[in-house]
Every structure is written in structure tokens, then in C-alpha cells.
Amino acid sequence: MAVVPVQACQSHPPGLWDGLLELTKSAQERNSDPPLWAVQLSSSLKSAGVSMPSPELAHLLVSHICWANNVAIMWKFLEKAVSCRIAPPMLVLALLSCRVIPNRRLYPSAYRLYMELLKRHIFSFASEINGSNHQKIMKSIDDVLHLSQIFGLQACEPGTLVVEFIFSIVWQFLDASLDDEGLLELIPEKKSKWPTRSQDMDIDGQDSFNEKRTDHQEGKCKTNTVMAIELIGEILQNKITSKILYLARRNMFSHWGSFIQRFRVLAANSTALRSSKHISPDALLQLTSDTRIVLTRECKTYLQKHFHAVVASGSLTSSAGQCHGVSWSALWLPIDMFLEDAMDGSQVVATSAVETLTGLVKALQAVNGTSWHNTFLGLWIAALRLVQRERDPSEGPVPRLDTCLCMLLSITPLAIVNIIEEEESILIDEAGVSPPNQRKEKQMSVNRRKDLISSLQLLGDYEALLTVPQSHTLTANQAAAKSMMFVSGLTSGSGYLDCMSMNDLPINCSGNLRHLIVEACIARNLLDTSAYFWPGYVNGRSNQLPRSVPGPMSGWSSLMKGSLLTPPMINVLVSTPASSLAEIEKIYEIAVNGLDDEKLSAAAILCGASLVRGWNIQEHTVFFITKLLSPPVPADYSGTDSHLIGYAPFLNVLLVGISNVDCIQIYSLHGLVPQLAGALMPICEVFGSCAPKVSWTLTSGEEISSHLVFSNAFNLLLRLWKFNHPPLEHMMGDVPPVGSILTPEYLLLVRNCQLSTSGNTAMDSFKYRRPSRFSSPSSTEPIIMDSFPKLKLWYRQHQACIASTLSGLVHGTPVHQVVDAILHMMFRKINRSGQPLTPTASGSSNSSSSGHEDASLRLKLPAWDILEAIPFVLDAALTACAHGRVSPRELATGLKDIADFLPASMATIASYFSAEVTRGIWKPAFMNGTDWPSPAANLSMVEQQIKKILAETGVDVPSLAAVGSSPATLPLPLAAFVSLTITYKLDRTTERLLTVVGPALNSLAAGCPWPCMPIIASLWAQKVKRWADYIIFSASRTVFHHKSEAVVQLLKRCFAVTLGLNSSPVCSNGVGALLGHGFGSHYSGGMSPVAPGILYLRVHRDVRDVMFMTEVVLSLLMQSVRDIASCGLPKEKLEKLKKTKYGMRYGQVSLAAAMARVKLAASLSASIVWVSGGSSLVQSLIKETLPSWFISVHESEQEGAETGEMAAMLGGYALAYFAILCGTFAWGVDLMSPESKRGPKVLGAHLEFLANALDGKISLGCDWCTWRAYVPAFVTLLVGCTPAWIPEVDVEVLKRMSKGLRQWNEEELAIALLGLGGIKTMGAAAELIIETG
């Protein structure tokens, strides 16, 4: 008896379904023509008011067939009802799947007929989701197959249920095929989640075909199994169903993983699959492979279809691209700019360069569409270019060669570790749930590691870039000798290489930077020693090697064998970097557990060559040093003072050891600045609170006090944030440069976040990380500024001094007494009227009769107390100088006495003078050579050098002729400050102080009117000649500080030289022209012009209104596109060329070459914006600048309609690349960085703007061709390069965007956008797939 749902009986006339069943039985008995039966049935349903297709009829017909009427005519009736849409096809198929598949072995003919019916109707669903009764039909399907229960989704949209339906049908066929061949036992679950066998199979049962369990019937079953597998293949290949299954793959991945496991079992073990003539195991696996991108493959060819040009890496390697000056290396220009910008020592950063570089490389790989081989090669080449630019560095208080080599040999390998681990950790996670026979296949699919190896092999062809800087030749030669010895079968410990000199090496054993790169990769398990056997890697012969070690082994090898730390060995270990983690751990153990003298030696060793040149273990060295700066409280400690006091000599060795400029920058690159700040603050708090009553004598005989330890820690701490930036930043009404201030609070916040998340991710424990035995931090407890009351009080005073003039000094208070004592120490030799210098003490009794000894005695105070008084001292001294009571020379000498007494006071001196200069209340000082030092001797030379440096920028340098005719002037506080600084001679002791003072003086002078900085440069160049190049270069940068027009001109020049615009074909362009090849007066011909890109990277942090940079860059990008469209030629020349017989060929620029240059222009633009302001500026660009640009009307600057249309279209593509590149640089392609949280909101706002414009809610002012090119190109790049962004966008925005794209006949893009939107848009995507066919 056929079963009809109860609700059907309640909603239709009584007896309707019984009558229809009798009609069907009568037609069955008469063997009626199916069309005639269908007409009669349809007429009856219409008369009864039943809407069609009818779910109730589907239930009635399927129940009638299964199994009492399983005859051919009934299957024909059923097929006719489905094809005429009297019964809903999806529901019929769902009902049959629950009845036929479990009974397929009992009724093989029915199974075959069911599959035939499925073939005809599973590929068309339009009537199901758009027709009448669709909600009722969908609910019936869900009830029959229990889809919501099985997949855990509430099918609120028809499209969602369609996805579940197709997925379930294929899965049922897959499990049935596995069950037919006895393979279900090979899957982890051992059973199917679908009914594959009838619960009460009657083997002797009889269907209408009188089928028995005969050999013939078994043959039918086997044939059906093959047919079912082939049907699965057809469904996976069909245009509609393959896309729908792709939606399941992206959004139902937990189920998809189990589904794919079954496919692999089938492909590996099925005899039926191997006997198929239509599909093979490999083909079946390929159809379900993760590499088969179904939704986005059409999108990736979007630009090709419209431009007939290759938009990925091919366009930049084509001959056309080369002819127009765009080389392959230009793809990686953003890496070059990031690496060079990271060398700027004017500001350290709180985030790791490893993580930033990882995200940048992944972004460029995605947007450029390059292989990982080319990506890694481009990364190595960019890092090598950085080193070559600094191979002959000029001296100065800025990071140089050691920092560049850290970037090449430590940061870059660690970024590659991240990239390779990302792939391999996913494979390992998958392998953990895969059958054992599949794990080997997964391991063989590790592509990124293979691409790294091939890139390093090819790197040997770039000999010019591999040249080793002279100072590191021995290190490279030792690396080459190590590989030669290994290939020759000789074993060598590090001791062999420690004692090897240049004379010991074979003649042909010359190493290069590739040898150092390979060693860095081997140390981090990226490579193994098989790299030594690469063709051409070893360039010597084994018979050239000495067969014995020359002399006794010393250094690291001896240490590891238990030798004691003797003075000769200590010298070797300080000057020779450790080569392995075990060696640096050994030294760390000595620093923790050794005797007092051994601890001091171990600290010096850690801060020696192992820190600056131990690239293979550098990340561990900086961590160990940071950890040692926070020693634990000894178990037997019972004192009332801090336990840190007892560690004073040890801490001082560490503080002095890491005070080098390169060391601080190395800390910055490794992202440990926040943790270093957290370690320095307790030291400053404790030693700054101690009176210098106790001193310590080092083994060298040097005596140190608490003041010295405090000063070393305090000056180091101040260098970790931009304390010395001009206080104009803090004035109202001005926009500070984005990200310019790293406050102590911010550093502690980042430090706390870093430690709270350390070890919580799987990546932290991954085997390639080489975790140390001592990798746990000293403390993971959060630290706040309130933990350091003295430091917090000083910081508040520092901020108050910047914000307003001094006040509050009361006579007779302890602070006033300290001020008096300091003034007496400063001016003890002055015997004037006896008037006190402190302003608040005027009119009081004269206390100046106290002697110097009494003053020194009174200054045996904690450093914090002295620092509190310093601003008042400076105010009094400067006032006395202004009124003639103190001469400039006496002022400079007195200031030096303060700095010598407490070196930490130099930072307060710098801050105070900076603040006073900006107030503009002091009279100018005449630098006449009598009262104040004169710059006249060097001023003209400085002017000429500045003009040489800026020669390539087109920027005018203001003349210094007027200065030369009359005495130069400086603001009095600035004159006092510069006079103080030039009293110091440059040596190892004072260099630490000058690295604090130098940047502060630069920042202060840069904010003063022209020509203050050239005057200071002239004075410094006389005194510190070794720093002359640095000083004059700093002076040249101030030209851009005073004129925004100069910055715009500099950027114009950056675009021109990079793109080769308005230059001859033989002119240099690209990365080399943008960033140059180094500079300095040591080059032949004297000071060379500085490349515009280098100038901008050293200037941008001081641009006052950084927000205007987005508008400038956008304007320059569009102008560059117009120049590209017109071949970069002036109007007259272009018109003349078009009249020649070759005019059309040249005038119509090769689209491939044009696109290559457009991408390069967009890449440069994105790099400038990102480097200038980080994610904040990118956010401003995408949310504000771009929408404003599209709304605004722009004057037409194109020459001719043809060129104008092409320029407009190219402009749209340029803007799309520009926006996507900016977003990927700021937030990454996978939204994994902490800063990426705001990315989806920004993207959502931009997509909403696009949707509003597509809906006609916003009027656009830009060229229609630009807009028409931009929107599809932006969505194409979004879908193809950053699919992880899309699920974070609001569903309604995605749907509106999809609707707008369809109005432009961009159905594939619309589908791809919805398809990547996650489970919330899966239904809409499925409906659109079905609708578009």
C-alpha cells in the first residue's frame, strides 16, 4: 500500500490520493502510454487544486514501486512524472536513495534504473529552488535524508539544502561502492553513515523481474558498482554539481575530510574502479584534489580575457616586459623596501621582522601568482641586494653591515621556516587522521621545501650578489672549507675552523654569501648536508686540505670538551661566534651556574661575536641575554635590598655588551625589544634608587658604581622608544606621524601579550623551531608602569617638561638643595658676584660658598633624585648664559660635568633643550667662533655635499651663501646642546653616549629652521670626521622636513626612476635605480648622489602630515599609468611617432608590457603607503581616500580617445592591485597577524561602498572605464589571492556585491565571491550556480 504524508490527507479533498493510486494501477495493468498517464494525472491534480510539482505524489509513486510494483512500466511512469515536473525530481531521488541503495543487491535492476534516472535529473535544479512548493519540497527532502541532523546545518535557504543533497547522494554512492567490494572495513569508522544494506534482507525474496541470487545477478551487481563509480565521476566533473561540491569542500570541511578518506580507499583498492573504461583512480583523486580550484579558476583568467595579457609572473618575464624596463626582480620591490626601511636605526619596532617578512612574502606570492621557487629566489636576491648596498658602509650611530647580515642570515631563514612549517604542519595534522598508506603520499607532496632547495641551487648563478664584504671573508671561507672537508670525508669539529686563518685555507677555497646562507638553513633544519654535494657548491679539492689541525684546538670545541675559561680562550670565544645551539647553551649555563668570574666571562662571550655574527643561533642568543638581565632571587637570599644589587658587575657587562647600535637593531629585528624593556625597567628602578655608596671593581680593574649601572640601563631603555623626537608631535592641531611613538606603557603591553601567548600555538613547539632547553622566559607575569614608581615619576616629569615650561621649584626643599649642589659642581670655578643661579633662590642668602667637595658629598644621592633636579638645573644654567652670567664655554663645560657625573642625565638634557627650542623664547646664539663655535670652515663643503646627495631628486637646496656672509645663528638651547656634544671625542666609551645624543640632536635640529642642521653638520664634521658622511646625509634630509613640496618631488622621482619614465632605454630603472647601490664619500669621485628611494625611507618618519601621503601616492600612481599608456613620451614626440610607419606598433603599447609596468607602479605605491604609515595608513586609504577619489571628478589628461580609454582601463587595474597589495601588506593574506583583526572591517566598508555604487546609491565622478575595470579586477584579486578575507565580511554586503556583478554579466565572479563567503553565503552561492548553469 502506497504511503502518503498525513498532512497531505488533511489539506486536499478526501479520496484524492486513493483515486490517483487507482488511476496509476489501472494504467499499469493496461500498460498505458506514459505521456497519456501523465496528462490524466496532471489533470486530476489541477482539478483538485494541488500545486505541482507535488511532494505528496512523489511519496505515493515511490511507495507504490518499492517493492510490490517494481516493474518497468512503473519506472517509466515515474520518469515521466519527474520530467513533466508533476513530481519534484530532487524529492523523488531522495526517496529512491533511501529505498533503492540499501536494497541494491536484492534489486540490481532497480538500482540501475535509479542511477539512470539520477543521471537525467541531478544536473538541473532550477525548478526545485524557484518553483512553487519549493519550501515544502525542501523540507520533505530534509525529512527524508535527515540532512540537518547529519550535517548540523539549518537549511534556511534552498541552496544550502541543495549542497547537502548533492553531497549526500555522492556519499551514498561512494559508501555503497565500498561496501560492494568489502572495503568499508578499511575506513576509520568501519561503517557508513548512510544505510547501505536493508535491515531485513530476504535473500529469497522475489521482485517483479523474478530475480534470484544467480551468477547473472551477481554480474549485474558488479556492473552496477562500476556504473555507480562512473556516475560519481560524472557528478564531480559536471559544471554545476562540481561547483556545488566545491562549496561543501570549503564550508563542511569536517565532513569533507571523512569523505575524502573514503575516496582514497576506493582509489587504492577498488577493482571495479580499475575495470572502468571511463575513469581511472588517478583521475578520480584529481577530481577531489585540493589543488582543483573550481570556483576561482575562471576568475584567475579574468584579466587575461580582457587584456589578452599575462597578469601573473609571466608578464614580468616576457620579452615585452624586458623591453620596457621591467625586470623579474621588480616583482619583489616591496621586500627590498621593507628590508631597507628596517635598517633605519632612528626607531626600533616592537614586532618581529620575522613575522612581518613572513606575511609580506606570502602576500607577494599570492598576488604575483608565482611559484614558491621564484618567491624564495626573489626573497634571497632582495636580502643579498641589501647586503651589497652596505658592503662598504659609512660610519655613524646607525645600524650597518652586521644588521644587514642579520637580516640575510637570520631573519630571512626564520621567515622561510615559518612558511615551510605552515605547509608541513598542515600535512602532519592531516596525516595524523589519515590511513598509514596515505601518509607517505602526503610527505611526498611537500613542495615548499623542494622549492627552497631549487632556489638556493639557482642562487649560485648570481655571483655579483654573492660577493662577501671584506670584513667577513674569513667566515665565508671557513663555511666553504667546512663543506669541502665533508665532501672529502674528513671530520671537523668547530675547533678546526676556529684556529684556521686565511693562510691555512686552500687557494681555491673561497667562500661566498651562498655558503653562509646554506649554513644558516642547515642550522635551522631547512636543509641537510646533502647541499654540500650540489654541483659547483664545493670549489676546492680534497688534496688541498691540511690533514691535521694546525696546533692545539682552542675555542668552542675545547669548551664543549670541558676546558676551563682561561683568558686566551675567553678572547677567542668573544671574537668567534658559536656555531651551534649546544655551544651557546653551554655558555648560558656557565652564566647562570658558574663562579662569579666565570659568569662575567660568559656574559661577555654572549654579547660578543655570537650576538652580532652568530647568525645560526642568533635568535637564541638574544633571548638568553634578555633572560640573564632578569636573574632569579637566590634561594638563600635574606637581604632587605633588591637581589639585583648583588648582580651589579654581571648586569653591567651585559648592558655594555648590547649597547652597540647594531645590537639594539638586532633585538628589534628579532622582536625582543618589549621583553628587553621589561628586563631593563627593574634594573633602572633598583639601581636608580640606590645612593652610590658601594662600588664594585671588575677583573679589568675598572670600578663601577650604582650610578654607572643605572646610566647604562637607563640610556639603553630610552633608546627603545622615540624619547628624542621633536616635541612638536605633542602640540595640538598637528597630526603626528603614524606609529612614531613607542611609549614605555606600549612596550610593556606588547611584552605582556608576547609572554601570555608564548608556547600556546602548535608552531611554537614545531620541530624546526629548535627549542632550547632554556627557552622558557624568566617570568610570564604581566608588568605595568605602576610596578616602577620612580621610573613612572620621571616619565611624567619628562612629559610635563615637553608640554610646558618648568615650575614648582620651592626654596629649601630637597629638590632645591640638589639643584644647588649640581650648579655648584658645574660652575665651581666661577667667582662672580655671588648671585645664585637658581631662579627661585634669588633674594635668598648666598649658598655658593660651599666647595666642590661639599657639592660632591651632597650629590651622593640616588640617580632618580638627581634626574628630578636636572631640568631645573638646565633652566637656571641656560638663563644665566642668556644673561651673560655664564659664558658659552663655561656652560658647555658644566653640562659635560653633569653628563660625566651621571651619564643618564644626557637624555634629560636632550629632552629639555628640545622642548625649549620649540618654545621659541630664547634669543639666538651667534656662532662666531668667539663665544660659540663657528661652522664657517666647513659650511661651503657641507652645502656642496648636500647638493651632490640630492642631485638625482630634482629638489632645490636652499643656498647657504647668506649664512657665510654673516655669523650663523642657532637657538640658544640648540647652540648649548651642540656645544656639549662636540666636547666629546669619539671612542668606545663615549660612542655609547653619542648614540643617544646623536639621534636626539638630529631630531632637534631637523625641527629647527633652515640652515640649523647644515650648521650643526659643519660643526660635527670638524669634530667627528669619521661620522662626516652620516652627519652630512642627515643634514640633507632636513630639506624635506621643511617643505612638503620637496617630499612630493622626491616621490615623483621615485616613480620615474622605478618605472623608467621619461628616460632613455639604456638608463637604469627598477629596484637598482630606486634604492641605488650604496653611497658615501669613499666612493670614487667623492660623495655620490643618493638614490631617491633611500632618501624617502630615511625621511618619511619625519613627515608631519602623513595622512596626505595617501592622496599624493594615489595621484602619482594615476599619473604614472597615463605615462605608461602614452609610452612615457611627451605629447609632441608621441604625435610625431604615430605619423611614422611604425607608429601604430609603438603607439599601441604592448598590453603585456603595460600591465607589467602598471603592476610595478601599484607595487611601489603600496610599498610607500605601507612603509610610511603601516596598517593605520592603509586603513585610511581603503576606507577614505579611495572612495573619495572615485566620487570626485578628475580632469581628463589623456591624449586622444584611444590612449585615454586605455589609460582609464589601466588605471582601474592599477587601483585594484594597489588596494589589494596594501591590504595584504597590512593584514596578511590569511589574517593571522594581530593587526589583521581590523582588516575585515575595512574590507567590509570598502565592499559596501562598491555595492552602494553598483546599486546606484552613490554618484561617481571618475572615468566610467576606470570604475568598470576596477570593480571586477578588485574582486578577482580578492577571490584569487585573499580568499580568507571574504568569510569575515557581512553576508548582506557580499550578496549585494554579487548582485551588482551579475548586472555586469560577471556571473563567475559573483559565484566565486559568494562561494568563498563561508557557510552563511553557501546557499546563495549554490542558487546562483544553479541559476547561471
Write the pLDDT tens digit of every residue in 567-613.
999 999 999 999 899 999 999 999 999 999 999 999 999 999 999 99
pLDDT the model gives residue 1289: 92
pLDDT the model gives residue 126: 65
Q: Which of 708-717, 928-937, 986-995 has the lowest mean pLDDT?
A: 986-995
pLDDT the model gives residue 102: 94
Share the mean pLDDT of the chain: 82
Q: Quick one: what percent of the chain has pLDDT higher than 70?
A: 82
Contact 155, 147 (CB under 8 A): yes
Report how far apart, in Å, the C-alpha atoms of 773 and of each of 580, 585, 777 are: 13, 8, 11
Tell me how far apart the alpha carbons of residues 1297 and 1317 are, in angstroms, rounded to a whole number: 12
pLDDT the model gives residue 383: 96
Taking residues 887-915, what's their average pLDDT? 90
Evaluate if residue 830 carries a pLDDT over 70. no
Evaluate if residue 1251 carries a pLDDT over 50. yes
- Reported as type and span, the H/E element at residue 927 is strand 924-927
Tell me how far apart the alpha carbons of residues 1274 and 1297 are, in angstroms, rounded to a whole number: 12
Amino acid at 541: R
Contact 1137, 1129 (CB under 8 A): yes
Amino acid at 1102: D
Buried b / exposed e across 914-929, counting CB within 10 Å, b at 16+? bbbbbeeebeebbbee
Tell me how far apart the alpha carbons of residues 229 and 174 are, in angstroms, rounded to a whole number: 7
Tell me how far apart the alpha carbons of residues 199 and 102 are, in angstroms, rounded to a whole number: 8
Q: Which of 520-524, 781-785, 1329-1333 has the lowest mean pLDDT?
A: 1329-1333
Q: What is the DSSP letter of 394?
A: P
Phi, psi dihedrals of residue 834, rounded to the nearest 5°:
85, 5
CA atoms within 13 A on the CB side of 479: 26
Taking residues 1093-1116, what's their average pLDDT? 88
SS3 899: helix
SS3 242: helix
Tens digits of per-residue pLDDT, 105-139?
Answer: 999 999 999 999 999 988 877 667 777 778 888 88
Tell me how far apart the alpha carbons of residues 1202 and 1278 are, in angstroms, rounded to a whole number: 29
Taking residues 883-893, what's their average pLDDT? 92
Tell me how far apart the alpha carbons of residues 1297 and 1308 are, in angstroms, rounded to a whole number: 13
The answer for residues whose C-beta is within 8 angstroms of residue 652's C-beta and 6 or more apart is 698, 704, 708, 709, 712
Tell me how far apart the alpha carbons of residues 357 and 406 are, in angstroms, rounded to a whole number: 13
Most confident of 18-22, 829-833, 840-844: 18-22
| CA torsion through residues 1025, 1027, 1029, 1033, sign | negative
Tens digits of per-residue pLDDT, 395-408?
Answer: 777 778 899 999 99
Tell me how far apart the alpha carbons of residues 362 and 415 are, in angstroms, rounded to a whole number: 10
Evaluate if residue 1081 carries a pLDDT over 70. no
Evaluate if residue 1209 carries a pLDDT over 80. yes
pLDDT the model gives residue 987: 73
pLDDT the model gives residue 292: 59
Tens digits of per-residue pLDDT, 41-68?
Answer: 999 999 998 988 999 999 999 999 999 9
pLDDT the model gives residue 340: 94
Evaluate if residue 1011 carries a pLDDT over 50. yes
pLDDT the model gives residue 684: 96
SS3 695: strand
pLDDT the model gives residue 123: 80
Contact 313, 374 (CB under 8 A): yes
Q: Which of 1328, 1245, 1208, 1229 is nearest to 1277 (CA)?
A: 1229
Contact 584, 548 (CB under 8 A): no
Tell me how far apart the alpha carbons of residues 1003 and 729 are, in angstroms, rounded to a whole number: 12
Evaluate if residue 1147 carries a pLDDT over 70. no
pLDDT the model gives residue 436: 44
Q: Where are the alpha helices (DSSP H) in 1129-1263?
A: 1131-1138, 1143-1147, 1151-1180, 1186-1191, 1201-1227, 1239-1254
Evaluate if residue 201 carries a pLDDT over 50. no
Q: Which of 650, 658, 654, 561 is nearest to 597 (CA)?
A: 650
**What is the reported pTM?**
0.88
Q: Confidence class of residue 88 from pLDDT cuts 50, 70 and 90?
A: very high
Q: Which of 570-584, 1093-1107, 1137-1151, 1213-1227 has the lowest mean pLDDT?
A: 1137-1151
1300: its cell numbers? 551588482
- Reported as type and span, the H/E element at residue 697 is strand 695-697
Evaluate if residue 521 carries a pLDDT over 90. yes
Q: Which of 238, 139, 161, 300 is nearest to 1326 (CA)?
A: 161
Tens digits of per-residue pLDDT, 837-848?
Answer: 555 433 333 334
997: its cell numbers? 645624543
pLDDT the model gives residue 9: 47
* Cα-only R_g, the chain: 39
Q: Which of 633, 669, 636 is nearest to 779 (CA)?
A: 633
pLDDT the model gives residue 1322: 92
Tens digits of per-residue pLDDT, 776-801?
Answer: 777 778 899 999 999 999 998 888 88
Q: Which of 272-286, 411-425, 741-755 has the lowest mean pLDDT?
A: 741-755
Report how far apart, in Å, the C-alpha atoms of 396 and of each of 393, 503, 661, 1082 are: 9, 33, 9, 14
Tell me how far apart the alpha carbons of residues 509 and 512 are, in angstroms, rounded to a whole number: 10
The answer for residues whose C-beta is within 8 angstroms of residue 785's C-beta and 6 or more apart is 744, 745, 748, 791, 792, 795
Taking residues 963-972, what's their average pLDDT? 78
Helix %, strand %, coil % of the chain (to 5): 65, 0, 35
Q: Which of 717, 866, 861, 705 is nearest to 788 (CA)?
A: 717
Amino acid at 567: P
How large is the greatest C-alpha to C-alpha distance in the chain, in angstroms?
136
Q: Which of 1050, 1091, 1052 is nearest to 1073 (CA)?
A: 1091
Higher pLDDT among residues 951 and 1224, named by residue:
1224
Tell me how far apart the alpha carbons of residues 744 and 729 are, in angstroms, rounded to a whole number: 17
Q: Which of 821, 920, 828, 837 is nearest to 883 (CA)?
A: 837
- CB neighbours of residue 1023 within 10 Å: 17
Tell me how far apart the alpha carbons of residues 177 and 174 are, in angstroms, rounded to a whole number: 5
Q: How far from each other are the two terminal CA atoms of the chain, in whole angstroms?
A: 39
Higher pLDDT among residues 196 and 1038, named by residue:
1038
pLDDT the model gives residue 211: 46
Backbone φ/ψ region at 887: left (φ over 0), alpha (ψ -120 to 50), beta:
beta
Higher pLDDT among residues 62 and 997, named by residue:
62
Evaluate if residue 1013 carries a pLDDT over 80. yes
- Reported as type and span, the H/E element at residue 968 is strand 968-971
Instruction: Let me know how long the chain is.
Output: 1333
Tens digits of per-residue pLDDT, 665-684?
Answer: 999 999 999 999 999 999 99
pLDDT the model gives residue 508: 59
Q: Confidence class of residue 334 from pLDDT cuts 50, 70 and 90?
A: very high
SS3 50: coil
The answer for residues whose C-beta is within 8 angstroms of residue 12's C-beta and 6 or more apart is 48, 49, 50, 56
pLDDT the model gives residue 849: 40
pLDDT the model gives residue 838: 54
Q: Where are the alpha helices (DSSP H) in 493-617?
A: 494-498, 513-523, 556-560, 567-575, 581-593, 596-606, 609-612
Taking residues 950-975, what's their average pLDDT? 82
Higher pLDDT among residues 917 and 502, named by residue:
917
Q: Which of 696-710, 872-886, 962-976, 1165-1179 has the lowest mean pLDDT?
A: 962-976
Tell me how far apart the alpha carbons of residues 228 and 231 are, in angstroms, rounded to a whole number: 5
Evaluate if residue 1221 carries a pLDDT over 70. yes
SS3 489: coil
The answer for residues whose C-beta is within 8 angstroms of residue 784's C-beta and 6 or more apart is 745, 748
Contact 1147, 1138 (CB under 8 A): yes
Contact 448, 419 (CB under 8 A): yes
Tell me how far apart the alpha carbons of residues 414 and 853 are, in angstroms, rounded to a whole number: 56
Higher pLDDT among residues 490 and 1224, named by residue:
1224
Taking residues 1248-1272, what's their average pLDDT? 93
Tens digits of per-residue pLDDT, 632-665?
Answer: 888 888 878 889 999 999 999 999 999 988 899 9
